A and B are shown apart, each in its own frame.
Chain A
Amino acid sequence: MKSKTNVPPVNSNRVIAMMTLFLILGVVWTFISRVPDASSQQLGPPPNPKAGFTAPDFTLDLLDGGQLTLSELRGYPVVLNLWASWCLPCRSEMPAIERVYQRYKDAGLIVIGLNMTSQDSESDVRAFVQELGLTLPIVLDRDGSVQSRYQLLGLPSTYFIDRQGIIRSVIVGGPMSEATIQSNIEDLLQEK
């Protein structure tokens, strides 16, 4: 087939020579740019609200009294759900989250409902928890500090955190289906 372009085609040998040069340089570059100690790079990424980073730590009051510190839960897979009582998708997905919590809590799963109390009211939170019959631990972000640490983009937001405290996946928006929650959890539980 003849070329129909206005630009005459370059001899393919010249392009092959260029590609071969890239290949040789690429092999050298791949070798030079190896990560010297891969294991040390994988340990303790800085805290950021993104998959692949350590989940930002917090200590917050529990709705039923006492406090909860996220970093003290290392060794357990954690599902962190950021919600508010006025948020309709939060209301829709919360029963599924509670069911999954009931199903997997004996397997070591920890589910935390992190209420955006700075944009909610504690009385509404209590009414919400009572209405839906929630038993999972609810923590209160009264001053919005955790919300800003997690750079909240929308409600609900759910973080699936592995046993090392690393965020494995983030789901912004909802409602999540029970299968979505469960499949993400099974991935976390399978890892030792």
Chain B
Amino acid sequence: MFPFLRIGPFLIQMPGLALLAGLWISTTLIEKEALHLKLNTAATLNMIFSGLFGGLIGARLIYVIEHFNVYLSSPISLFSLNTSTLNSLGGLIIGVVIALLIGRHQRLPFHPTLDALAPGLAVFMVAAGVANLLSGNAHGSPTHFPWAIYLWGEYRHPTQIYETTAALTIFILWKTISAGSRGSGIRFLQVVAFSASARIFLEAFHGDSLIWLGGFRAVQVISLIILTLAIYLTKQWGKAERE
């Protein structure tokens, strides 16, 4: 765990740095893949950064709406750099919607564009695992396994390492045994399906799971839904490709 690095008066957030590095590598890979798919790379990158920027603004706006009275008396706080005043789910939804709208506006073909995003998604998951390892977030449940790491006062499953390894494996799988032809959208679905499968398996070792009724872990249930959807779309898009 190495969450902060102090350089003079500045406190550098190392997990944030890992995510930035991940974003940089992801966009490089996406650009390369977009070139292979003969997509307009500038438009693809424009779509990604519009989605990210829009998502960030959306996350703050949703948070502000939730605490409207507070911000009404101090509107300048809207521009605070503090990441604790963001609504991440709201930001994610708004970011995806904006990316879809921009992609449509730039006339990017849907399926090939998704395939161009696939390696970026896989690599960004690796960066997210490293960021969690640095921050100590997404920690594992206590265990006596010999590979346990000492974190937050107990020996725990190194869930962050499990997730980083799984994401790396998914990236390698994308490179080696991808299904469907490039541009069919199936390669993107494959990354999504494998990532959801990994989450279903690894979430059981988490010590910070959100528990739903019946003792079910929320992430596992959501991942099952995503996996089902990915299978359905793979079937449909595979059929369309064959026809």
Contact = CB atoms under 8 A, between A and B. Distances in A.
Interface of A: 1-5, 7, 9-16, 19-20, 22-23, 26-27, 29-30, 32-38, 41-42, 46-48, 50, 52-53, 88, 153-154, 169, 171-173, 176-180, 182-184, 186
Interface string B152-170: 1110000000000000000
Which among A35, A41, A88 has the greatest number of chain B C-beta atoms within 10 A? A35
Which among A13, A33, A178 has the greatest number of chain B C-beta atoms within 10 A? A33
B163 to A, nearest CB: 16
B86 to A, nearest CB: 11
A179 B183 CA distance: 47
Given A1-B181, A47-B153, A19 B4 contact: no
B90 interface: no
Given A30-B216, A35-B217, A178-B74, A9 B223 contact: no
Nearest to B239: A12
B231 A19 contact: yes
B36 A4 contact: yes
Interface stretch (B43-51, B91-99, B121-129, B204-212): B204-212
Interface string B42-78: 0000000000000000000001001100110110110
Interface of B: 3-4, 6, 9, 11, 36, 63, 66-67, 70-71, 73-74, 76-77, 80, 82, 84-85, 112, 136, 152-154, 175-184, 186, 190, 193-194, 197, 200-201, 203-204, 208-209, 211, 214-217, 220-221, 223-224, 227-228, 230-231, 234-235, 238, 241
A180 B136 contact: no
Contacts of B194: 22
Contacts of A169: 84
Given A10-B179, A180-B77, 13 more contacts: A1-B181, A7-B175, A15-B177, A16-B238, A19-B234, A22-B227, A29-B200, A33-B204, A34-B217, A48-B152, A88-B9, A169-B84, A184-B84
Given A12-B180, A33-B204, A179-B85, A19 B227 contact: yes
A30 B221 contact: yes
B7 to A, nearest CB: 12
A151 to B, nearest CB: 9
Which among A5, A7, A30, A173 has the greatest number of chain B C-beta atoms within 10 A? A30
Contacts, number: 155
A35 B208 CA distance: 12
A27 B179 contact: no
Contacts of B220: 26, 29-30, 33
A91 to B, nearest CB: 13
A48 to B, nearest CB: 5
B4 A172 contact: yes
A177 B190 CA distance: 44
B85 A35 contact: no
User: Secondary structure of the B side of the interface?
Assistant: helix
Contacts of A5: 178, 182
Nearest to A5: B182
Contacts of B6: 154
Given A26-B220, A50-B136, A2 B193 contact: no
A172 B11 CA distance: 9
A171 B238 CA distance: 48
B170 to A, nearest CB: 12
Nearest to B36: A4
Contacts of B82: 171, 176-177, 180
A12 B209 CA distance: 33
A12 B238 contact: yes
A42 B182 contact: no
A7 B77 contact: no
5 contacts: A15-B180, A15-B234, A26-B227, A38-B215, A47-B153
Contact of B84 (A12, A46, A180, A186): A180
